[in-house]
């Protein structure tokens, strides 16, 4: 397990080429088993969750080959429908393979991925979608989940909550089903849009992505292609938050400006200046942020896209911990996503959590301390808090951070932040 050491209280200035999107690429990797050729992805983030998904793809019969940040997946051989239980425990997103395995083989077996530190995270809506498409779904007392169907048939799928993963699984199961599927109450996240762009390039017939109603007309076959993974909006938002908290100036190249409008509105509300970066041809190719002053206190609620992303709630807690005044943050997506507040309190933050709301009484400066990463985005939030704090901070259990950030120390050092990995003694 690695630790991170940070010397804080210095402004951050520099430029980062943001990594490819973790939450964008994971469903796309699942889609690779839907075709019998080779899918090549470029700008793939080399992170633990991707390495884990590659391991699962190989265990079901794919041949995967890396070339720098490009990843080719050959699914021309026999594909097996069962995901090894050991892999499910390592990564919840293994559930995303179910829809694609069902579409490819007519059978998908995995295991209840279980809750994590941000909530119970059930998969009932995923299984609802498979049932609506005609699959027989069963769960045994050990948590083994099986879905099977001689042939999937297009249908109406209605989600009472716009679940990102369930929408992705419904799409992956519907693209080879017989007939038309309508997904009502679909998630509208940019990761849904990029998945549909990939599937369409593979030969799928999809329309409506980005809205809450997506229509899929099943096709006979899908084909290999090449696809560039978009920039990671959450990693970009994390580094923007770090600079908003510590002060300074950052340019995030490939930061997806068009899909970060709510985050940009919030950063401006706390007093940052935020502008798009344009290329020589006039295309927007990134995001630039300046922060000269102490952040202002605000009220904020997370929500499904286009609301403020729940994945940036913890980094915003870190920023608001030193805001002028009292801020309120409401977590409207997961039921237990304030665990990092306890770690921020070790650094002197004054945060009161009650249910899904937190009140933050801003302090001029936090103080360096020894803190523990409780989950992926919480760990990144602690790094952001440490960069704005006085003194040295040690962050333990950084394996969480490595799941979603290629190298948070490398990126923050590009901003001239004093941060490094410390191997545990
Ligand atoms: C995706 O998780 C992301 N993960 C999460 O990012 C992100 O926080 C989340 O979407 C919301 O944007 C990936 O894309 C790999 P949901 P997912 O299904 O699909 C409830 C990160 O840090 N729900 O939209 O699991 C669920 O309990 C991660 O990168 C059900 O009740 O999120 C939660 O309260 C964390 N039944 C809410 O919906 C279901 O069948 C949102 O979950 C499914 C979900």
Segment-wise mean pLDDT, segments of 10 residues, the chain, 425 residues: 91 98 98 98 96 95 98 97 86 90 96 79 94 96 94 97 98 98 98 98 98 98 98 98 98 97 98 96 95 97 98 98 98 94 98 97 97 96 98 96 95 97 71
State whether the beta carbon of 364 lies less than 6 angstroms from ligand 1: no
Q: Is 6 in the pocket of ligand 1 (CB under 6 A)?
A: no
Residue with tokens 């939450």: 23
With a 6 A CB cut-off, is 377 part of the ligand 1 pocket?
yes
pLDDT of residue 336: 87
- Whole-structure pTM value: 0.97
Residue 420 is among the residues annotated as catalytic for this protein: no
Residue 147: count of CB within 10 angstroms of its CB:
28
Inter-residue contact 12 to 386 (CB < 8 Å):
no
Residue whose CA lies nearest to ligand 1 atom number 26: 121
Q: How far apart are CA 250 and CA 126, in angstroms?
A: 39
Give the pLDDT confidence score for residue 115 in this predicted structure.
Answer: 65
Protein residue closest via CA to atom 42 of ligand 1:
163
């Amino acid at each position: 397990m690695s630790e991170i050491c940070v010397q804080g209280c210095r402004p951050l200035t520099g430029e980062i080429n943001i990594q490819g999107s973790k939450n964008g690429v994971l469903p796309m990797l699942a889609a690779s088993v839907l075709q019998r050729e080779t899918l090549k992805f470029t700008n793939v983030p080399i992170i633990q969750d991707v390495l884990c998904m590659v391991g699962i793809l190989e265990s079901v019969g794919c041949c995967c080959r890396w070339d720098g940040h490009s990843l080719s997946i050959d699914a021309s051989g026999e594909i097996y429908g069962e995901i090894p239980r050991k892999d499910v425990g390592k990564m919840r997103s293994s559930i995303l393979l179910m829809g694609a395995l069902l579409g490819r083989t007519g059978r998908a077996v995995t295991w209840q991925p279980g809750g994590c530190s941000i909530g119970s995270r059930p998969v009932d809506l995923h299984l609802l979608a498979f049932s609506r498409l005609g699959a027989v779904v069963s769960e045994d007392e050990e948590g083994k989940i099986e879905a099977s169907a001689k042939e999937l048939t297009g249908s109406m799928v209605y989600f009472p909550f716009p679940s990102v993963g369930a929408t992705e699984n419904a799409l992956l199961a519907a693209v080879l089903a017989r007939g038309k599927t309508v997904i009502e109450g679909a998630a509208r996240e940019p990761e849904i849009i990029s998945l549909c762009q990939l599937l369409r390039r593979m030969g799928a017939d999809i329309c409506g992505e980005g809205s809450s109603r997506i229509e899929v007309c099943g096709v006979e076959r899908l084909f290999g292609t090449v696809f560039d993974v978009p920039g990671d909006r959450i990693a970009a938002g994390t580094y923007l938050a770090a600079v908003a908290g510590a002060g300074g100036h950052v340019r995030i190249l490939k930061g997806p400006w068009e899909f970060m409008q709510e985050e940009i509105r919030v950063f401006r509300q706390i007093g940052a200046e935020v502008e798009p970066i344009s290329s020589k041809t006039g295309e927007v190719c990134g995001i630039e942020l300046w922060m000269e002053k102490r952040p202002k206190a605000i009220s904020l609620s997370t929500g499904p896209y286009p609301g403020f992303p729940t994945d940036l709630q913890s980094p915003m807690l870190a920023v608001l911990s030193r805001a002028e005044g009292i801020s309120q943050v409401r977590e409207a997506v997961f039921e237990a996503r304030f665990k990092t507040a306890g770690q921020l309190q070790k650094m002197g933050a004054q945060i009161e959590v009650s249910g899904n709301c937190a009140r933050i009484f801003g302090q001029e400066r936090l103080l360096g301390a020894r803190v523990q990463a409780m989950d992926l985005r919480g760990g990144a939030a602690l790094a952001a808090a440490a960069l704005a704090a006085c003194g040295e901070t040690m962050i333990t259990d950084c394996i969480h951070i490595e799941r979603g950030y290629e190298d948070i120390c490398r990126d923050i050092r590009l901003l001239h932040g004093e941060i490094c990995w410390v191997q545990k003694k």
